[in-house]
């Protein structure tokens, strides 16, 4: 996996957004299975989205010439990420009610947690923008077949690494971790928008710079 692709995967991993439900699910009656289901859904969503974007790029990109439009696509995607990051930073203090999925999370089952993971990764605009950037980078490496499959798997593993941390800590230390994880969840809830705004903007600037190069 290239450093550029690793940076995009780490940008997804740095988002506090999926970590909050991963922690909340540990307070349900079946913490391990529900959180495991959410993690599986999150990984599958990232894999499906990244694979789809990489496949589209592979189909439309001509291999016998240097396609200038690919650079412009990268620049456009970077500008869009910067705009989203600026908007998120500007609205970071806005008070919003908890989303419906968070209100119903106490009644989650492994199946509903899996669906939630798929929804939050495969249908979240910010994550989709980053997976689109990841698909573009994967296609630009020139890999094919097994190499693409391995790269997408590594990309998804890095992108989902932070979501797995609460489950791993709980599996190792049990209920002793619920207190610290609860405090971490509260902090992430307060600073979620600010952290994501910075991460998205940095990746956007990187894509714009690379596109012009």
For residue 177, what pLDDT is reported? 77
- Output the six-digit token pair for 80: 């869009």
Q: What is the pLDDT of residues 78-126, one digit of tens each?
A: 788 888 878 877 777 655 555 566 666 777 888 988 998 898 887 778 8
Task: Return left, alpha or beta for 198; rule: phi > 0 is left, psi -120 to 50 is alpha, else beta.
Answer: alpha
For residue 17, what pLDDT is reported? 76
For residue 183, what pLDDT is reported? 79
Instruction: Give the separation between CA 201 and CA 79, rounded to whole angstroms.
Output: 9
pLDDT tens, the chain, 213 aa long: 788 888 888 888 887 778 888 888 888 888 889 999 999 999 999 999 999 988 887 776 555 454 666 677 777 887 888 888 788 777 776 555 555 666 667 778 889 889 988 988 877 788 888 898 888 888 877 777 788 899 999 999 999 998 898 888 888 887 777 788 777 777 766 666 677 777 778 877 877 877 777
> Mapping DSSP to helix (H, G, I), strand (E, B) and coil, where does residue 14 land?
coil
Please name which of 74, 212, 44 lies closest in space to residue 135, comparing C-alpha atoms.
74
Instruction: Catalogue the E-assigned strands of 54-166.
Output: none
């Amino acid at each position: 996996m290239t450093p550029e692709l690793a940076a995009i995967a780490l940008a997804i991993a740095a988002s506090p957004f999926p970590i909050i439900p991963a922690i909340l699910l540990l307070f349900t009656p079946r913490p391990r299975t529900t959180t495991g289901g959410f993690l599986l859904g999150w990984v599958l969503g990232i894999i499906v989205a990244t694979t789809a974007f990489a496949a589209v790029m592979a189909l439309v990109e001509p291999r016998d010439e240097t396609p200038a439009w690919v650079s412009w696509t990268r620049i456009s995607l970077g500008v869009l990420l910067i705009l989203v990051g600026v908007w998120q930073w500007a609205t970071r203090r806005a008070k919003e009610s908890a989303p419906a999925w968070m209100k119903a999370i106490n009644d989650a089952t492994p199946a509903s947690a899996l669906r939630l993971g798929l929804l939050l990764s495969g249908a979240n605009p910010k994550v989709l923008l980053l997976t689109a950037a990841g698909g573009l980078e994967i296609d630009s490496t020139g890999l094919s077949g097994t190499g693409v499959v391995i790269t997408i798997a590594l990309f998804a593993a890095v992108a989902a690494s932070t979501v797995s941390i609460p489950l791993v800590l709980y599996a190792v230390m049990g209920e002793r971790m619920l207190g610290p994880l609860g405090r971490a969840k509260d902090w992430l809830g307060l600073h979620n928008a600010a952290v994501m705004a910075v991460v998205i903007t940095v990746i956007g600037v990187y894509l714009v710079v690379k596109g012009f190069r």
